Amino acid sequence: MYVKRILLQNYRNYESLNLDLTRNVNILCGLNAQGKTNLLEAIYFCATGRSHRTAYDKECIRAGEEEALIKILYEKHRDDTIEIHLRKNGRKSVAVNGCPVKKIDDLFGCFHVVVFSPEDLSLIKSGPARRRKFMDIEICQLDRVYLHNLQQYHKVLKQRNQLLKDLYGNPSQRDSVFAWDTQLAEYGAKIAKRRKQFLQTLDSYTRDIHQQLSHGTEQLALSYEQDGEADSQSLLDRLTRGLQRDIRQGSTQIGPHRDDIRITINGTDVRVFGSQGQQRTAALSMKLAELNMVKNEIGYPPVLLLDDVMSELDSERQLHLVHYIEENQTILTCTGIEDSIKQMPAGRIYRVEQGQVRKEV
């Protein structure tokens, strides 16, 4: 799978862009705040129907404009297109091969990307929410059923939390909580089960990669961390027992929205006791494992988006990353051409300046 062409109109700082890409390595080089990351964001948008940088689509529309367009031509088994219209005063619309998509989430699975940014290097030392997002984004690209369950879970969770706030001053509605608890336990159990499966698979890839990165001295292990059993009845029982506490807190304190990934090196929790070098190496191992896992799950390499990540890695880690991207179309941003970048498979260099992109000879 690779992107052949990307077209932008009034997207971020791009008034108009029509850019052909190579199926190998595409290096977007330029100073900061010139539009390099905006290009990666637009490609990510076509895989997920949303930005990985903001929750507000209108922030992606060029200043002074009412609409923006993103369109890619990509090859999977044939040439396909994805087109996204963003509107300041209306809902965005999506079309695949010219056919409108009724629900944005139906876009998942059409086109696959793996994005790696400097923020991902803090995946280990960040809070649990960052690691839950890591799991959810990738599973959603691979499993539409999971996406549905996750959406339903958060809808029910929102309703339950509102009821908890109401109950604090009006306990007469207490009996109505059970209906929300039953749904929350049903969807929550499905989410936890799928996350466990995902991490078990990811763990098998991560172990081998991390051993290479650490020269065989460290054993990295991933597991799903939750409060109690994952089945729906156990979750329902815990919700019932914790109701009074939830009413006092005004929010639900149990469930997949509170879970985490346990990450250990040689049996020690690297989130708490790992050095900065160990944490960064563990994060790199997880992202490389994600890349390999997706490749094997879908049967072809996803598009890899590297957002100025080379400058955050030492030379040895840079070379390991280069080794793992040889089969993928890679779109990489940088402010300068590092030695490791020069060792990448044959590709193309583009200079990005103030929303303009030109190919370098």
Residues 6+ apart with CB under 8 A from 86: 11, 57, 58, 60, 61, 67, 68, 69, 70, 92
Nearest to 63 by CA among 361, 271, 355: 355
Determine whether the annotation assigns residue 34 to a binding site.
Answer: yes
Across the chain, where does the E strand assignment appear?
A: 2-11, 14-20, 25-29, 67-75, 79-87, 93-96, 99-100, 113-116, 220-225, 260-265, 268-269, 303-307, 330-334, 347-353, 356-359
32 is in an annotated binding site: yes
CA-CA distance, 212 to 321, in Å (whole number)? 12
37 marked ligand binding residue: yes
184 labeled binding residue = no
Is 319 annotated in a binding site? The answer is no
Q: DSSP labels for 141-181?
A: HH-HHHHHHHHHHHHHHHHHHHHHHHHHH-GGGGGGHHHHH
- Name which of 92, 50, 47 is nearest 72 in CA terms: 47
Tell whether residue 33 is among the known ligand binding residues.
yes
- What is the phi/psi pair of residue 286, to 5°? -65, -40
306 annotated to bind ligand: no
- Measured from the Cβ of residue 277, the count of other Cβ atoms closer than 10 Å reads 11
**Strand duo 303-307 + 330-334: pairing:** parallel
Sheet with 2-11, strands from edge to edge, namely 14-20, 2-11, 67-75, 79-87, 93-96, 99-100
**Residue numbers belonging to the annotated binding site for ATP:** 30-37
Numbered residues of the known binding site: 30-37
